[in-house]
Structure 1
Amino acid sequence: MSYYYAYFDVKIEMKSDAEQLISYVDNKFDIATHYLNELDQIDYQECNSPDRLRLTHFLFEHLDAGLFLVRNSAEPPLTYCSFGGKIIFESSAWAPQNITKLGNSTDRVLVMAEYQWRGHWLKGLFMGYRGSNHINLINIPLRDTFSFLDDENKAFRHTQIRLTNGQTVLTIGHFKGELLDRIRVYSQKYPFYIKADIAKLRVLEKLQQILPITVVISILVFIGLVFVIRSWYNVRETLVYQLNKSVEKNEFKPYYQPIINASNGHMIGVEALVRWIKADGTVIPPAYFIHELEQSELINRVTLQLLVQIERDIALIFAKEPFFRCSINIAPQQLESDQFIDQLEQLAEVGFSFNQMGIELTERLPITDLAKAQFNILRLKSLGCIIELDDAGTGYGGTSYLQELSLDVVKIDKLFVDSLEVTPDNTPVLDAQIQMAQKLEKAIIAEGVETAAQSKLLLSRGVNYQQGYFFAKPMPADEIIEYYKQLNSDQQSV
């Protein structure tokens, strides 16, 4: 019993330190967000002496922050200007898998990137902001976070600050010997978390400190009660436990983002995006839970729940628009799972119609067995589904998915749509994707369309089907019905 008390005491201590660290980093990000807004207002044209002097003055006025970098859209994409001259980033620094978006914003990101400064290659955490005047970066130093762990504790712990895309920002402490436990504490404001490991030696050391007083029977009883209560509390607080309870309560809901035929303004479909809505109305962002959910056995139950809700939510649109489609994302392991496809076939047997459903496969996670995936795609198509390739060109699939899988639709990622804003007359990757899809006779949907200029340029390339905040954000069921009615009313009045 004494050992368990020591264990939970150390675990509570570790969680408290992680929460302090979360608060500290949150504050750093708050300051960086504010300063980036100010940085966007300075008069910057090119990396010459007057502009570097302005950056120097700005730096001295904001000494509690890190290194400030800027570039305008006409400058090379990997070259930024600092008070000390030009800084060049490593070629893969801004690859999609290395970028973590801040909430729903498309203008603000976090990235761990390697850069060359004064002949030396360095690596650091940057917050980026695409402002109205130029593109702004701030290097966020976190080395002083070591103060959260004294030298004694660093020998027993291994603590990491990680972005939600899995990139490690900073590692604190080290230990040798057996790993006893591991916790994760997530920021509620920004896309990062603290992963903390603890050594068995730390618990044994704590045990030596408390052992003398635990010989008293009354203290032993008290410790036993504390153990039971804290154990129950900690189990309830784990993300897996919360996910299980939320599935039981049917708290995962579809939000719908319209897909518009930009040539005539008609809504030809929607994408259903999962949201976790708690009983008190709190909406948990997908970045907090989607990775854990996709790695668990709960993902099949959640997908089936969403399908049933979709059929009920937009039945009115389905009935009036026979060619209207609603697409839903599935993870690669679901596509390769006979059990999951069996469940969809069983759902069809009891009356669920897949004739107006689309299944989206992502390139961001690998399909390990293409033959199995193709076989199950054919099973899905026999139910009436169309098959869509999401995030095309950003991940593992490349052209192999287009060649080996029976796909109907290619969805162009926002990363390539954004290139229209930077160099509208020089978008070779985007143009190659469009031409390949057209040659293979695949329908094309452009995602992440945020401006009228992007929409117009896509139309000029023959991409009529478009999705993004320029048209509408994802919305709950009642709002998508009203959006549909209003869109129809507007079109009829024209």
Structure 2
Amino acid sequence: MRWFNLFTWKPLALLLLLTACSSIGISWIYSYSLVKDKAENDLSQRLAYLEFQFDRALLIMRKFSQIEVKTCSAEELSDFKHFQLKNSGSGFIISHPDTFPKYKYCSSLGLLTIGEQKTSSHQLIKFEDNHEQLGMGEFKYKLEGVSHTGLFLGTKLNGRTDAMKIDIDDSKFFFKNFCNECRYMYGELFNGYPIIELGSDFSSPLLSIEIRSERYPLSILVKLDYNYTLIKSIGSLWWAGMVALAFWLAIFFAVLSYRQKQNSLLNRLQNALQSGELISFYQPIINVDSGEMYGAEALIRWVKKDGSIISPGYFIDELESSSLITPVTLCLIRQVLDNLSGILNQDPELKISVNIVPEHLEHPHLLDALESMAAQGEQVQSLSLEITERQPIYDIASAKIQIARIKALGLTLKLDDAGTGYGGISYLQEFDFDYIKIDKMFVDTLHFDKASSALDAQILMAGHLNLPLIAEGVETKKQALELLQRGVHLQQGYLFAKPMPLDDFICFYQEATKPDNIVRKLRR
């Protein structure tokens, strides 16, 4: 039902609107890019075509320079004709030896007058190619009484000027007959002489690109109007719509995922840490034999702003396996040292236990912070660290280093939940513990099996290791007395007190120090 609510008409309408707008935008941008790339590619190919024509003309002219032309005699005219027949791809060739009168040129048709009458305002362009003198321009001439005008490329070699007419085939310049009225192509020499012109020019093009030859004095310009890109974009709307829909669906589900992540337990824990909702509660540890309070265990509680408390069973596993465990542990230690400074000053023998995880023994961050606190005069020696067996310690060598630092600070180390997890006896062999804590599951066996072989085995092992025991989860007077008979003096559980907030714990501590305290009543 929740997923159905996500697709109510408002977000669906927004999704469709965004998809439609994005489709138009994507198709337009894609089409513009495509048209631009095609225009640039077309220009490069058209320029290459022109340069090829001029290269070919130069090659022919260099061959022609080997033919002798001095007087335009019948023999030389025959050589002219023979050369042009042999080189069928050549254009109309003319030659002007330096000894000829001005404007007089020899051709395969005989002596011609060329360039005597100015055909246009375009001047002859002179340039060089590999130190070879070249020229390019427009000339007018007559053949069989008919006037002709053409573009000639000339060379200056061996004391004469040779030139060949260049014929440009306009049909090579538009590959496809597509919306020719939407595009315009114009090529000219640097003197303004037009070489090609296709389509109709327009004043406000969408795209205008010009490319110049690096070898010849010419350039080509192409213009495209909006209709050309529009026609292209219409054809791409269907797939642009699919891309846009996929994009906005991805954004939609990313936002949904982000919102779910914002509401995830780990993120909520981080917010709780930042807003001060993770509070230290305290459960007393009692020496049942002497009736004195040995210390307490600081237990984290999630107290919401409205006063409600989230059960630790809901979040402890997530917290211990996350990167938040170290900042939360330090926050808890800071609360203990700040809140109980008066009591710890008054009773320096009181020990406050704080739970740690294997990560704290495999990395130096927690001990770095504790050493920094000790250097500032904080009462870290009143702390006792409890390492649980619920998670394995992989880096034994690093753990030994951190434990040595713990001992150097004057802290005690307890093995919590002994016999219920990964380490067991191996941890007792490897690490220097000060206490062993008996888990509630072993204490509970006292209800059913007075002998309680597993519990007795733990007590026997602790005796051999000369390690004091602390029993957790003591809930009845019978359990407390039977544990005491077995030599387990330090006990913790609901029989004595539940985990309580700071103010209640201070009151409990004050009551526990009175002569007629709860433990002495228990033993009557």
Task: Give the TM-score of the pair, scaled to structure 1.
Answer: 0.54
Aligned partner letter, 1:392: A
Counterparts in 2 of 1:408 and 1:10: CA distance versus 1, 3 Å: farther
Partner Cα separation in structure 2 for residue 12 and residue 388 of structure 1? 51
Aligned partner letter, 1:303: T
Contact preservation (8 Å) 2:337, 2:380: no
Deviations 1:173-203 (A, max 9, x none): xxxxxxxxxxxxxxxxxxxxxxxxxxxxxxx
Aligned partner letter, 1:486: E
Contact preservation (8 Å) 2:289, 2:484: yes
For 1:196-345, list aligned pairs within 5 A.
230=256, 233-345=259-371
1:431 corresponding residue in structure 2? 456
Deviations 1:351-386 (A, max 9, x none): 222211100011121111222212211101111110
1:476 corresponding residue in structure 2? 501
Decide which of 414, 418, 440 is 1:392's aligned counterpart.
Answer: 418
How far apart are residue 248 of structure 1 and its match? Answer: 1.3
Deviations 1:230-257 (A, max 9, x none): 4553232122221221121122111100
Q: Report the 3-state secondary structure (helix = DSSP H, G, I; strand = E; otherwise coil) of the residue aligned with 2:259.
A: helix
Counterparts in 2 of 1:228 and 1:455: CA distance versus 1, 3 Å: closer
Q: Report the 3-state secondary structure (helix = DSSP H, G, I; strand = E; otherwise coil) of the residue aligned with 1:458.
A: helix
1:458 corresponding residue in structure 2? 483
How far apart are residue 273 of structure 1 and its match? Answer: 0.7
Contact preservation (8 Å) 2:446, 2:479: yes
Contact preservation (8 Å) 2:330, 2:366: no
Which deviates more, 404-413 or 228-237?
228-237
Deviations 1:252-284 (A, max 9, x none): 111100000111321110001111112222211
1:128 corresponding residue in structure 2? none
Partner Cα separation in structure 2 for residue 333 and residue 367 of structure 1? 8
For 1:7-46, list aligned pairs within 5 A.
9=3
Aligned partner letter, 1:448: G
Partner Cα separation in structure 2 for residue 491 and residue 338 of structure 1? 45
Contact preservation (8 Å) 1:327, 1:357: yes
Decide which of 399, 402, 409 is 1:373's aligned counterpart.
Answer: 399
Partner Cα separation in structure 2 for residue 215 and residue 481 of structure 1? 68
Partner Cα separation in structure 1 for residue 366 and residue 351 of structure 2? 21
2:179 corresponding residue in structure 1? none
Partner Cα separation in structure 2 for residue 11 and residue 366 of structure 1? 44
1:467 corresponding residue in structure 2? 492
Deviations 1:422-467 (A, max 9, x none): 011x212111111111221111101111110111101111111000
Partner Cα separation in structure 2 for residue 221 and residue 422 of structure 1? 64
Counterparts in 2 of 1:439 and 1:278: CA distance versus 1, 3 Å: same
Aligned partner letter, 2:339: D
For 1:39-78, list aligned pairs within 5 A.
none
Deviations 1:12-61 (A, max 9, x none): 69xxxxxxxxxxxxxxxxxxxxxxxxxxxxxxxxxxxxxxxxxxxxxxxx
How far apart are residue 316 of structure 1 and its match? Answer: 2.8
Counterparts in 2 of 1:287 and 1:12: CA distance versus 1, 3 Å: farther
Contact preservation (8 Å) 2:357, 2:387: yes
How far apart are residue 222 of structure 1 and its match? Answer: 10
Residue 447, structure 1, aligned to residue 464, structure 2: no
Aligned partner letter, 2:476: T
Aligned partner letter, 2:454: V
Residue 364, structure 1, aligned to residue 407, structure 2: no
Q: Report the 3-state secondary structure (helix = DSSP H, G, I; strand = E; otherwise coil) of the residue aligned with 1:442.
A: coil
Partner Cα separation in structure 2 for residue 491 and residue 393 of structure 1? 36
Counterparts in 2 of 1:271 and 1:284: CA distance versus 1, 3 Å: same
Partner Cα separation in structure 1 for residue 510 and residue 473 of structure 2? 23
How far apart are residue 347 of structure 1 and its match? Answer: 2.4
Counterparts in 2 of 1:11 and 1:267: CA distance versus 1, 3 Å: farther
Partner Cα separation in structure 2 for residue 249 and residue 362 of structure 1? 28
1:486 corresponding residue in structure 2? 511
Decide which of 408, 415, 418 is 2:441's aligned counterpart.
Answer: 415
Contact preservation (8 Å) 1:330, 1:359: yes
Counterparts in 2 of 1:438 and 1:282: CA distance versus 1, 3 Å: same
Counterparts in 2 of 1:238 and 1:432: CA distance versus 1, 3 Å: same
Partner Cα separation in structure 2 for residue 418 and residue 492 of structure 1? 25
Counterparts in 2 of 1:229 and 1:257: CA distance versus 1, 3 Å: same
Partner Cα separation in structure 2 for residue 442 and residue 295 of structure 1? 29
Counterparts in 2 of 1:226 and 1:260: CA distance versus 1, 3 Å: same
Contact preservation (8 Å) 2:511, 2:517: no
1:16 corresponding residue in structure 2? none
Partner Cα separation in structure 2 for residue 359 and residue 383 of structure 1? 12
How far apart are residue 11 of structure 1 and its match? Answer: 11
Q: Report the 3-state secondary structure (helix = DSSP H, G, I; strand = E; otherwise coil) of the residue aligned with 1:489.
A: coil
Contact preservation (8 Å) 2:412, 2:434: yes
Partner Cα separation in structure 2 for residue 259 and residue 420 of structure 1? 20
Contact preservation (8 Å) 2:370, 2:380: no
Partner Cα separation in structure 2 for residue 487 and residue 288 of structure 1? 32
Partner Cα separation in structure 2 for residue 370 and residue 226 of structure 1? 47
Contact preservation (8 Å) 1:250, 1:305: no
Partner Cα separation in structure 2 for residue 251 and residue 398 of structure 1? 34
Deviations 1:286-311 (A, max 9, x none): 12222221222211111111111101
- What is the aligned-residue identity percentage? 43
How far apart are residue 492 of structure 1 and its match? Answer: 7.5
2:122 corresponding residue in structure 1? none
How far apart are residue 317 of structure 1 and its match? Answer: 2.2
